[in-house]
Amino acid sequence: MRPGILVIGHGSREAVWVERVEAAVREAAFLLRERTGAEVPVEAAYLELVEGRLIQDGVDRLEALGVTDLLAVPFFISSGSMHVREIGWALGACDEPEGGTDLKPVRVGARLSYGRPMDDDPEIAEALLDKIAPFSADPAGEAVLLIGHGNAEPELCRAWMRGMSGLAERVREHGGYAAADVALLATDDPAEKAEALRRGRPHLRVLAVPVFLSEGYFTAEAVPKRLRGAPCDYAETALLPHPKLAEWIARQSAEWLARLERSGQPG
């Protein structure tokens, strides 16, 4: 039995975006060796746009190294992401998503385990707290509005909301903020959500925080446009680069390795 890890991101034509994902994966591999003592190959692959680094390429690279047991980690914010579902289908781990997919099935010879996206995992809340800190002056007098992409399809919307709401509660509790809420671009009016946080508490300062992996169109244009005129301060930031994302990959991978060692079966 030889385990391997494949971290699957969306992909981008922007070299900086790809390098930040690659850096997080390299650091995760280092942390995994430190924590487990195991020499486990860890590779990055992408849903689209990165030639020679697509999902099939990543699987092929790992299997060429003799990997027999493979953990595929979806490097996405939410389990409500359509991409998480379609990647799982392509790998043979999920039913085909409603609405179908343009992906083709991936050839996988190894025993496959499909991991989890970020949702409300503690490392993601810790990364957000660090990213918000420079914009915050007095958490006890502030509210945090986390803004994510979301999805209009009801089941996926509920999954988005569960993960983001859990994340907001972690941020509120551990950051000492007066309140926290969530707005999804696909289904909510972020400006109205910011208004609602201040309703009855006019002196409360609202920090609107985009929850996206990388800076770009959504953090720089789409979210600010939707917040125009809202009673809030915009904490423009992104999760990458932050070392907690590498810790998140390493922890999920270490837990999977421990299950493999105990049972000899993928978890």
What pLDDT sits at residue 147? 98
Report d(CA 259, CA 267) in Å as an integer. Answer: 6
What pLDDT sits at residue 267? 47
Q: Model's pTM, two decimal places?
A: 0.95
What pLDDT sits at residue 99? 78
Two tokens at 198? 């201040």
What pLDDT sits at residue 19? 96
Torsion sign (Cα): 22, 174, 117, 223: negative
Structural domains in the chain, CATH included, are: 3-118+242-263 (3.40.50.1400), 122-234 (3.40.50.1400)
What pLDDT sits at residue 108? 97
pLDDT averaged over consecutive 10-residue blocks of the chain (267 residues)? 96 93 98 95 96 97 98 98 95 86 94 98 98 97 98 96 98 98 98 94 96 94 96 96 98 96 69
